[in-house]
Amino acid sequence: MLSIRVFGDNVLRKKATRIQSIDDDINNLINDMFLAMYSAEGIGLAAPQIGRSIRLFITDISPLVEDSKKEIFINPQIVEYGFEREDYEEGCLSLPTIREVVKRPSEIRLQWQDETGKEFDEWVDGYRARVIQHEYDHLEGKLFIDHISTLKRSLLKKTLKQITSGEIEVEMSEKFEL
């Protein structure tokens, strides 16, 4: 089982590198990432969150959005943002116990590949767009707290220090089977 890296780990602040080849190692990593994400009861997980600084993230928003499915995003690139922005409370497996309202564009145009190498170019909106932007930030070395005010961030200092010191950990449940 992969462990989820938390605030304070340098890999979370690095810009991830492009995946050159989608091979068995990448596909095995994807399967392991889904197991880790489900075990932590998450809806998205980026490779830097498990210590791999590569441009890959996964999502499964089906617990919250009807008719959605698990998705794999390899070498994603947000190429355009919509003009409307929406507030919504976010949390993150790498920032356990922290939840804050973040304003993000409600629509994005995303290009990416799936696990077979098939390329996609699509306008994405709603909750799916929010989750994709959150995970995409991880590939850029950003966390959702980077989108909140300096004042709000300063109020989180004690909690961030507890996360960094290991006093607060990511809760992982029993292993899941895919």
Which residues are known catalytic residues? 135
Coil, strand or helix at 60 = strand
The radius of gyration of the chain's CA atoms, rounded to the nearest angstrom, is 16
How far apart (Å, rounded) are the C-alpha atoms in residues 41 and 32?
A: 14
Alpha helices in the chain (DSSP H): 24-39, 126-139, 150-155, 157-165
Q: Which two tokens stand for residue 123?
A: 């306008």
How far apart (Å, rounded) are the C-alpha atoms in residues 148 and 54?
A: 25
Contact 19, 74 (CB under 8 A): yes
